[in-house]
A and B are shown apart, each in its own frame.
Chain A
Amino acid sequence: MMIMKRISEWFEVRLGYKELAEKHLTGYLLPRNINAWYSLGSVLLVIFGIQVLTGILLLIYYVPDADKAFRSVTAIMNDVPYGWLIRMCHAVGSNMMVAVLLLHMLSTLFMGSYKSPRELNWLTGFILFNLVLGISLSGYLLPWSQLSFWATTVATNSAGAIPIIGDYLMQFLRGGKLVGPPTLGRFFAAHVALLPLAIAGLIGAHLFLLERIGVSAPPFGLKETKNSWQGDQFRHEDHPGGIPFFPDYLLQDATSIMIYLAVFFSVVFFSPNIFFPVTAFMPADPFRTPAHIKPEWYFLANYQTLKIFPSELLGLMVQGAVMTFLALLPFIDRGKERHPLKRPIFLACFVGGIIIYLGMTIWGHYS
């Protein structure tokens, strides 16, 4: 023990880590009425970590060449020891990441945490959500299966509906007139380098904003639920008399992470093919379109929206408008009230939006 104490002192006098720990862990106080939904950010960090780790492992055996990609993925699944586990964790993890991100954003909406002064937290989070959709889409092509090939064909085709630049944009995304080997090259670069770097950078910005502005208090269990921010000068939102991040809230984070991992591994071990239709096990054939090609579940609502509008452009415009509205919500919704039950119009839009999204997703699945 003496040696441990001396090592600890050696670092302490050089780094002053006890002060850092006091500031960011034991002395970092959170609101007393904080709830489990606040731990979803930590769950997402763990998911991102698992995706990076399994992604690096897959890179060891994956070959980003249209002639070899499918065979290399098949070899990872069948020949490399535990390759199936690494790939399944990566594929299931990408779906889970989108699902947990949606829950994280819904809880932020429901509790009014996006309101001033946290507009930038919301905006960085919203951009992160879009980047995660982008990294999922680009990763979908890499196995070079019939599913990947044709889902990417359909997804990139939507860009062609944009007036004037649409056709050029579609060809730019694909690296040619149709999806082919050049598409694999650019999607691979985006998936393993560009997008992970962008996501990591934005996570850093998101966490910096969280730390700098302070954690919002949930509007529940309080007498005063209106936003107290005055907007005259910068103030870090403190929570005197709150609960410390370490050990109290870290245990909640750890509990949520364990619950997430239990669900995640249940899917990986007991229902691994939930995200893999038959076409995922057939090599890409550019001359044979499979029947009923559908995008991943998180794009089904977008897919169905495009189908129900008479023109693809109109469908894209509606989606663009909804996404722009959501991105700018903190700048549009300037109301002080944060409790959802005291915001009937917001609550109606919130519930209605979820019902429409789920309805379109289910409709898209069965259409």
Chain B
Amino acid sequence: MQSSSRRTFLGICLGGLAAAGAATATWPVIRYLSPRSVEETGGKVSFPESDVPADGAKFFDFRGTTGVVVRTKSGQLVAFSAICTHLGCIVQWEKDKQDFLCPCHAGRYSPDGAVIAGPPPKPLPRLPFSVTNGLITVG
């Protein structure tokens, strides 16, 4: 075999090895950089019912996003995702008006999450929750 063809053969082997190595290294790096899954960030969130003041709201981390539990004037508890469906800002509970306001672009939602004003295209998603022995469990 001539030296140039041996060189070509060695080049192909080394190039192939480098490409295979780079491809193999890609997977761990992607996994390392990927956001944690719902299972890894915790499924359910619990806190005492007393944390939610009368007419008030409690915000909490929920599966990597933000959730809110509100006690309305009628004393009813409701739980929503606090992410505005317009551009992703966190909505605020307006105690006096009894509605949610998104301060970014003045989107408004009723206490049951429906859009009442502004640009949000969809209602706030509801979060499933239960109350047992004074403990609220969301998720």
Contacts and interface: CB of A to CB of B under 8 A. Distances in A.
Nearest to A61: B32
Given A60-B33, A247-B11, A258-B14, A82 B21 contact: no
B42 to A, nearest CB: 13
Contact of A254 (B14, B29, B31, B33): B14
Contacts of A251: 7, 10-11, 14
Given A255-B14, A261-B21, A247 B32 contact: no
A83 B15 CA distance: 27
Interface residues of A, number: 16
B14 A57 contact: no
A248 interface: yes
Given A60-B33, A247-B7, A248-B7, A85 B28 contact: yes
Contacts of A215: none
B45 interface: no
Contact of A81 (B17, B18, B32): B32
A86 interface: yes
A86 B18 contact: no
A255 B28 CA distance: 24
Contacts of A57: 29, 32-33
A138 B10 CA distance: 40
A79 B40 CA distance: 9
Interface string A45-80: 000000000000100100000000000000000011
A55 to B, nearest CB: 13
Name the 6 nearest CB pairs between A and B, nearest first: A82-B28, A81-B31, A254-B14, A82-B32, A82-B31, A85-B28
Given A254-B18, A258-B17, A261-B21, A83 B32 contact: yes
B34 interface: yes
A60 B33 CA distance: 9
Nearest to A265: B21
B96 to A, nearest CB: 40
Contacts of B11: 247, 251, 254
